[in-house]
Structure 1
Amino acid sequence: MSAIVAAHGPFDAAEGERMLDRLTHRGADGSGTVQVGRAWLGHRRLAIVDLEGGEQPLHDPGRDLWLVGDGEVYNHRRLRAELQERGETFRTGSDHETVLRLVAREGLSALARLWGMFAFVGAAVDGGFAVCRDPLGIAPLYWVQDGDTTLFASELKAFDLARRNEVEPFPPGHTWTPQEGLQPFRTLPEPHSPAIEALIEEAGDTVEPPEAILAAIRDALILAVERSMIADVRVGTLLSGGLDSSLVTAIAAEVARRQGWRLPTFSVGLEDSEDLAAARRVAAHVGTDHFERVYTEDELIDWVPEVIGVIESFDPQLVHSSVPNLLVAKLAARHVKAVLIGEGADELFAGYAHYGDIESDEELRAALLETIKGLHTGGLQRVDRVAGANGIEARIPFLDFDVVALGLALPARWKLAHEDRAEKWLLRKAFEGWLPDDLLWRKKAQFGEGSGARDVLREHYGAQVSEADFAREREALDPPLRTREEAAYFRLFQQHLGGMDPTGVVGRFVEP
């Protein structure tokens, strides 16, 4: 988790410095800028890998190539070893230097080999310039094209007011160069392995998946958690008490135990919230150092204006989950610099209620894929902004490419809920024995619901906009604002991000 600001073309460096100043919260461990021909690169760093030597902008030995980046590349050690065998020597232990050297040797096509969450901007003294973002859009990146000048930044709030109405999300899985414009380098869906294809074909039309499929789900998620725990800083988990974060915590606690340390976990909620009680039990069951914060209803209400400025969104579901998410991130930041979270499981294993009417494999896969592709302006935006506001990095095992590829490949009949099956039945079945049964099969609640935030915020902020005002203001957007509560949040959004057209930039959940 760091901050990028970059520009190609005519550009006043003072504007770049202003933009970097608005992103100080994303990187307290250092900053740097460089002018490379027609390019300007700026960076604020949160040190997770190579704490001493990873300052940016990075450069090659001849200072011909420069790079700024955000995020982590989990397979950088294997790529580095390969490059060293080919004669490369490295100045730092940074995963981003591995990317710099790899692309210098193999070109932008090498980006398809990266495994992780990342956004990079590179510039060369010979005039070369390129930008990329990971295929899921886990690492944030926005851009503005203004004549001969193109600007990039990690958050919406970085841009000057005069530019905000032109800001767009940089498309995940793409590169941009001045010569070729946007080009895809890796897009979803990822192909799954022939072995999985064979298992699915062998299962035929069976109602329940064979044990080999359940084992494949377990193995993929376990490997993803192990990858996500690679860091040179202390790592913990945000434990909501729901299924997804509980499974990630159970796996991470076992990995930590094997490595000889004890996993820290963090939870928040109202005094009597279901999530807080469940989180305590999960932490006790898997053996973590557990920390929690109990908040009041008044605190939830008071934090909303700041939260909307942090997450750069006014979607009610996002706000409901973001207030407790911000408070738990503040708690975690006192103890760790990286956290694992459970985001992404609902999108892969059909955890949302609106999937209930789908019956065919093709229809479900299309619906899940559409949801996953939209995560970068929805749930992932909340995850990134809340973590960045507190100087920590969030890692998402369920959105590991292997887990995504497997999840998208599995037939609908194994995923969809009905009266005899809970939502995410397949995921629960795969991890039987990892948690007490009543926790493993606990009914799903959105984080904002289980933590107690949803009802409190819906009642209070829904009362802040009269029916007459709502009727007058709701058509300000297309599609229109859906509830008085959403209208109240949109008012706060406009205070924080005046001049911003949210169309295409701010995602909105199906259910407000």
Structure 2
Amino acid sequence: MCGIAGLFHVGTPKPVDPARVRQMTDTLAHRGPDGSGVWTAQGVGLGHRRLSIIDLEGSPQPMHSSDGRATIVFNGEIYNFAELRRELAGLGAVFRTDGDTEVILAAWQKWGPDCLRRLNGMFAFALYDHGDRTLFLARDRLGVKPLFTAQLSDGSFAFASELKGLLAHPLLRRDIDPRAVEDYLAWGYVPDHRSILKGVEKLGAGHYRLLRHDAEPARPVQWWDVDFSKRHSGSEADLSAQLLHHLREGVTSRMVSDVPLGAFLSGGVDSSSVVALMAENSGAPVNTCSIGFDVAALDETSHAQRVAALFSTDHRERIVDPDDFGAVDSLAAMFDEPFADASALPTLRVCELARENVTVALSGDGADEAFAGYRRQVFHAREEQVRGLLPQGLRGPVFGTLGKVWPKADWAPRFLRAKSTFQSLASDGDEGYARGLSALAPEQRGLLYTGEMRRALGEYTAEQPFLELMRDAPARSGLDRAQYADLKFWLPGDILTKVDRTSMAVSLEAREPLLDHRLIEFAAGLPHRSRIRGRQGKYLLKHTMERYLPDDILYRPKMGFVTPVAQWFRGPLAGEARQVAKSGALAASGWLDSSRMATLAEDHISGRSDNSRVLWQLMMLERSLGRLSARV
């Protein structure tokens, strides 16, 4: 795993200062503490920071092809590189190293952009072709590895693994994009179609971009997509056998490493499944780690211990104080953009624990998106049944009225908190799912905005790109469209961003075997009954893993990493909650109503309502804007 950065001149190929590229890559040292390199030529410069995983001594970067006609900087892992190497060698390619980087170079020279379809892995890379004088930027199918880009005022095109790599360049504009603030307040993160800074873009998951010195930068090209419009046939036993095959391939392919390897183990279905298949494929005990809390309602360590004992893993755990809010400023520095998923804190802690013993850790991320494991997906499928029975002409007025008059009872038992369900049923399925996924609904955001912000946004709302994605999805049902949006929008923007930044902050490579693209493509074709049965999501996955895991692991309620933000803002962070309304960075923006923010804080501290989520969002936004302005 690594960090990459570089510059490419469009128009007149000017000389590139190696010191400038090195300055950009030095900000990414945490991504690659084991080595660094810079290469420049007329009009192009490539920089690299290396975390050694495969071919520890033999694959320094930037790397040149054996014939000197191409140069690459690469972040990620290609899991099928050995098979590709044998194929390419049979076609005449010459290799000087034993790693995967040189395989990408040879694949490019043989197949051009089509080489991407042959790569099984997580990656973001920049490849300069000396003959065509082109720069080829590419990102993996699901967006596991990030890539930020920007057009600079001198005509150069800059790229980096993290925003901080671009911020190291003095010509990058630091103008905040109001639409990114709208997106952030809606979702809790800045999605991949936007950046917090105007003029900065993220290369989308499953996209590439080809740039030439003598032409304006071409728009990104989508080279992969997932198709939910087809259905597999066959018995449940046949589908289960196929699923197990894909699961095994995903796990075993990600166990190749020249450094110590382990796994995160929460005791939930997904991480336990990964550990079970790792143990099946390993002659030595699997290294596993988990964190727990000293609050019983938040703690899963007993489940993790049971799975560890079942597979005789070398297990380590650490109890973390749930009042672990001291890393807030560190999180803002890791993410650069505002990021409000509070589970980033425990994710960072488990990465720190893993890094004490291993350099690579496998995770269970991706199964909820692929197999319909989120409660919101199960609810959405049931709501779609209601929509199918009642016409919109009836649903809209009835449920719309109920949604308006029903109290927002945060304190009540879940079955009495029906306001959001009524609001969702009053809308069409796509709009209802967007509302259910959002951190703050449009009307809640509107209460926070000043007139200046409303004018800056015009007719734009954060839901528009999300709804376009759902409505254009290659899908047959509402559940298909919801899962498609989760894989294309939520997964890269929230889950994979969280894991990438927290793992890379401690120089740990995290691998996601349940995001093997063959597994994702198979899961997309499963019948509904193989995904959701009754109130149970991930049905076929759980059924398939019954041969490995006990029922009380497979079928217990989902927990996930829980951070007690609500308690923090009524206790040790109450002062922070009040300070948000007085924040210099937020006040200077002119976008948010200070009196409204103050009311939110006081209502939460007094216990009149639970405003913890929006207060956390505002606090992380304030921290992020403060850091960005400090860089100017």
TM-score category, normalised to shorter length:
0.7 to 0.9
Are residues 1:495 and 2:530 paired? no
Alignment match, 1:252: 278
1:336 alignment counterpart: 358
- For 1:90 and 1:236, how far apart are their aligned partners in 2? 30
Matches of 2:228 and 2:102, distance apart in 1 = 28
Tell me the SS of whatever aligns to 2:124: strand
Q: 2:239 and 2:227 mapped to 1: Cα distance?
A: 18
Bigger drift between 388-397 and 239-248 goes to 239-248
- Match in the other structure for 2:488: 373
Distance (Å, rounded) in 1 between the aligned partners of 2:339 and 2:573: 13
1:188, distance to aligned residue in structure 2 (A): 1.3
1:41 CA drift (Å): 0.2
TM-score normalised by the chain length of structure 1: 0.86
Task: Quickly say closer, same or farther: Cα 1:13–1:467, change in 2 above 3 A.
Answer: closer
Please tell me whether the aligned partners of residues 569 and 576 of structure 2 are also in contact (alpha carbons under 8 angstroms): no
- Aligned pair count? 478
Aligned letter for 1:8? Answer: F
- Paired residues of 2:232 and 2:526 also in contact (CA < 8 A): no
- 5+ unaligned residues in a row in structure 2: which ranges? 175-196, 386-475, 598-612
Counterpart-to-counterpart distance in 1, 2:291 and 2:567: 15
Among 224, 238, 259, the alignment partner of 1:233 is 259
Distance 1:441 1:72, change over 3 A: same
Per-residue deviation, 1:191:
8.5
Q: Give the structure 2 partner of residue 484 of structure 1.
A: 615
Shift of 1:499: 8.0
Q: Which residue identity is paired with 2:332?
A: I
* Equivalent residue number for residue 436 of structure 1: 550
User: For residues 130 and 462 of structure 1, do their structure 2 counterparts lie closer, same or farther at Cα, with a shift above 3 Å needed?
Assistant: farther
**2:345 equivalent to 1:323:** yes
Residue pairs, 1:467-478, within 5 angstroms: 469=581, 476=591
Is the Cα–Cα contact under 8 Å of residues 462 and 484 in structure 1 kept in the other structure? no
Give the whole-Å Cα distance in 1 for the aligned partners of 2:164 and 2:8: 19
Written as runs of structure 1 = structure 2, the 5 A alignment for 1:6-405 is: 6-9=6-9, 10=14, 11-126=16-131, 127-146=133-152, 148-160=155-167, 162-164=172-174, 165=197, 166-179=199-212, 181-184=218-221, 186-189=223-226, 197-199=232-234, 210-256=236-282, 260-271=283-294, 272=296, 273-298=298-323, 300-316=324-340, 318=341, 320-355=342-377, 356-358=379-381, 359=384, 362-374=477-489, 375-405=491-521
CA distance change for structure 1 residues 288 and 410 in 2, over 3 Å: closer, same or farther? Answer: same
Distance in 2, Cα, partners of 1:306 & 1:424: 35
User: Does the C-alpha gap of structure 1 residues 476 and 263 become closer, same or farther in structure 2, counting only changes over 3 Å?
Assistant: farther
Q: Deviation at 1:455?
A: 5.2
Q: Distance in 2 between matches of 1:366 and 1:235?
A: 36
User: Greater CA deviation, 289-298 or 91-100?
Assistant: 289-298
Say which SS state the counterpart of residue 138 (structure 2) adopts.
strand
Name the CA distance, whole Å, in 2 between partners of 1:4 and 1:435.
40
Which shifted more, 461-470 or 119-128? 461-470
Q: Which whole-Å CA distance do the structure 2 matches of 1:467 and 1:163 have between them? A: 28
After superposing the two structures, state which structure 1 stretch, 115-124 or 486-495, moved more: 486-495
Query: What CA distance in whole angstroms lies between the structure 1 residues aligned with 2:522 and 2:66?
Result: 41
How far has the Cα of 1:119 moved from its partner? Answer: 0.9
Structure 1 residues 462, 83: CA separation in 2 closer, same or farther (over 3 Å shift)? farther
Residue type matched to 1:215 in 2?
Answer: A
Q: Within 2, Cα distance between the matches of 1:457 and 1:397?
A: 35
The verdict on how the C-alpha distance between 1:456 and 1:427 changes in structure 2, with shifts beyond 3 A counting, is: farther
Q: Which amino acid letter does the alignment assign opposite residue 219 of structure 1?
A: H
1:469 partner letter:
A
1:408-452 Cα shifts (integer Å, max 9, x gaps): 11123332364xx333233212211311221111100122x2xx5
Q: Distance in 2 between matches of 1:458 and 1:224?
A: 41
RMSD: 2.8
Query: Are 1:4 and 1:153, in contact at CA under 8 Å, matched by a contact in 2?
Result: yes
The residue identity in structure 1 corresponding to 2:137 is: V
Which letter does structure 1 place at the counterpart of 2:101?
H
Q: Which moved more, 1:135-144 or 1:274-283?
A: 274-283
Preserved contact between residue 32 and residue 43 of structure 1 (Cα < 8 Å): yes
C-alpha distance in 1 between matches for 2:519 and 2:224: 15
- State the shift of 1:305 in Å: 1.9
Answer whether contact 2:344 2:502 (CA < 8 A) is retained. Answer: yes
Structure 1 unaligned spans of 5+: 204-209, 501-512
User: What residue identity is the alignment partner of 1:135?
Assistant: R
Is contact 1:23-1:158 (8 Å) kept?
Answer: yes
Secondary structure of residue in 1 paired with 2:325: helix
2:309 maps to amino acid: A
Rounded Cα–Cα distance in structure 1 between residues aligned with 2:228 and 2:577: 48
The 8 Å contact of residues 32 and 50 in structure 2, kept in 1 or not, is answered as yes
Query: So what's the TM-score if we normalise by structure 2?
Result: 0.71
Identity %: 33
Aligned mates of 2:238, 2:305 — CA distance in 1:
32
Which stretch shows the higher mean deviation, 424-433 or 355-364?
355-364
Q: Structure 2: how far apart are the matches of 1:154 and 1:475?
A: 31
Instruction: Check the 8 A contact 1:64/1:124 in 2, yes or no.
Output: yes
Partner of 2:438: none
Q: Is the 8 A contact 1:297 1:456 kept in 2?
A: no
